[in-house]
Amino acid sequence: MQNQRLSGLLAGAVGAVLSALSSTATAQSISVAYDGSFDDATFGVENAIVDKGLVIDYVSHVGDMLNRTGADLGSDVVIFDSARIYLFCSAVVSRKVMEANPDNVAFCPYSVYVTDKNGLVEIGYQDYPDGPMDMVEELLGDIVEAAME
């Protein structure tokens, strides 16, 4: 009886995680064109995050990785001239969205990206599900707006 209950709880947990991951994988992003260089945009994003009192946990140099590994994977397609993703969290916002729905843990840490595709520099972030995650989108939108200045 206890094993059946444990199996049911485990199946429910796995289903919740898969649901969260599938919604993340199909999510769209919100981006704006940046009138300046990639380096200026990344500098602006870094400063905007830190100016909010947040700590950048990790910077993913995804553009470098894609450019470095393309030939090894049999591709000569240049996806980005440059691309970086800045990962960070906000204790205040995270607590609010996770108190509203603990499954929102699947969206943490939050990120802002900067890309350069053929001279078009963009700054953006993920479009999260409506509801409590609107607080995260507001934070990310504020960061992008500050980076644009």
- Residue 122: in which H helix or E strand, if any? strand 120-126
Spell out the alpha helix ranges (H) of 72-133.
91-100
- Residue 16: in which H helix or E strand, if any? helix 2-25
Against a cut of 0.85, is the pTM above it? no
CA distances from 147 to 6, 50, 69, 100 (A): 48, 11, 30, 29
Residues 6+ apart with CB under 8 A from 114: 34, 38, 41, 42, 45, 82, 83, 84, 86, 121, 122, 123
Per residue in 73-105, pLDDT tens? 999 999 999 999 999 999 999 999 999 999 999
| pLDDT value of position 27 | 57
Architecture of domain 28-148: 2-Layer Sandwich (3.30)
Residues of the chain with pLDDT under 50: 2-26
Residue type, 11: A
Domain range summary for the chain, segments of one domain joined by +: 28-148
